[in-house]
Amino acid sequence: MSEQYKGTPLQSAEWADFQHGNLSVTGERLPIQMVNSDGTGLPLLKNGNFGTDLIRFGANEGVAEHRHIGQHVLFVLRGLGVVKYDGIDNSLYPGKCYMVESFVPHAIYAGEDDSLVLLVVGDDHRGLADPARMELTKLGEQERLPDGTMPAYQGEILKALKETHNIKPGSAYTD
């Protein structure tokens, strides 16, 4: 079978360090500023319409309510936060993942103590800075501050997450 296959070489990307038996995910800014968002990102893999990005939001950063073509899975690697999905707040913490369906309004808010880092895998993938990546909803347009950034999350979920998960800034990511 492999003798007949004439596809592209195997793609790979590094998105974290592995040190002393532990996965180490940095909370530092990434090289590309995302469109309509406080977030920065790093493209990892892409094949046709299918792609993967590493996305980082600093403390109290986020992306206002938006929608887009294509569904994606959000894997939380670092930090605490909230994904507001179709009007409902849902917790984000390391080890959690969500399926975000096409065109469903959603927003993401990082907690106040640390960066929120997500591995995002999706179809109908668009570049991080591509204006076609996402469209802010009317609510999302209203939510953004005059300088274009996001206000800090005002809900109760983050307080409860800090108490139940006992994650301190950076503590889950060091030896």
Region 110-115: mean pLDDT is 92
Quick: pLDDT tens for 23-54: 889 999 999 999 999 999 999 999 999 999 99
Q: Is the pLDDT of residue 175 over 90?
A: no
Instruction: Provide the pLDDT for residue 3.
Output: 66
**Helix, strand, coil content of the chain in percent (nearest 5):** 10, 35, 55
Look up the CATH architecture of domain 17-125+132-166: Sandwich (2.60)
Which is more confident, 151 or 160?
151
Mean pLDDT is lowest, of 55-59, 70-74, 117-121, 158-162, for 158-162
CB 107 within 8 A of CB 39: no
The model's pTM is: 0.88
Residue-level pLDDT at 168 = 52
Closest by CA to 103, choosing from 79, 123, 80, 128, is 123
pLDDT of residue 97: 96
What is the residue type of 58?
G
- pLDDT beyond 80 at 169: no
Residue 116 · residue 110 · CB < 8 Å: yes
Over residues 55-75, mean pLDDT: 95
With pLDDT > 70 as the criterion, what percentage of the chain qualifies? 91
The pLDDT value given to residue 158 = 84
Question: What is the average pLDDT score of the chain?
Answer: 89
Question: What is the pLDDT averaged over residues 137-141?
Answer: 94
Q: Where are the domains of the chain?
A: 17-125+132-166
